[in-house]
Amino acid sequence: KKEQKSYREDRPYFALSLIGAFAGLLSGLLGIGGGGIISPLMLMLGFNPKKITAITAFVVPFSSLSGFLTYWAMGSVDWGLLAIASIAGISGATLGTMFMHKKLNPQTVKRILAIILLIMAMKLIWSLI
């Protein structure tokens, strides 16, 4: 209970709307899901990491779907790759969500997100060199 009270509970609608719009824009430009944008920004605003993962899991498919529909309309979808990635993604998301809610505290989720984002940043920086 003490852990939950240290995170913000209000809903700054304007800031959250800007985060969603920014994530959607970058998602469309870069072909990414947007979770790597939404999660760190909401962490910086002080929200509970466990709640952030639930919000991201709900919001990201909408931006991903709009990007998918655009690529589909342009005729550049690899259906075999799509099927394999979808099955793997759904399986991993289901197992990860169950594990997170039953075994991890918010601080651990925050650390995992930070490590993943750092690895992604290092990989991107390395690819520029």
- In the numeric block, which tokens belong to residue 36? 């790597």
Cα 73 to the chain's mean position, in Å?
25
**pLDDT attached to residue 81:** 92
> Can you tell me which residue has the tokens 């990491």?
49
In order, the DSSP letters of 22-52 are HHHHHHHHHT--SHHHHHHHHHHTT--HHHH
**pLDDT attached to residue 5:** 61
Cα dist from 115 to 40, 83, 111, whole Å: 11, 28, 6
**pLDDT attached to residue 92:** 92
Kindly give the residue spans of alpha helices, DSSP state H, lying in 1-129: 2-5, 13-30, 35-44, 49-74, 79-103, 106-128
Contact 90, 64 (CB under 8 A): no
**pLDDT attached to residue 3:** 53
Q: Which amino acid is at 120?
A: M
**pLDDT attached to residue 4:** 53
Local mean pLDDT, 10-residue blocks, the chain (129 residues): 67 88 81 79 87 83 79 86 92 89 85 88 88
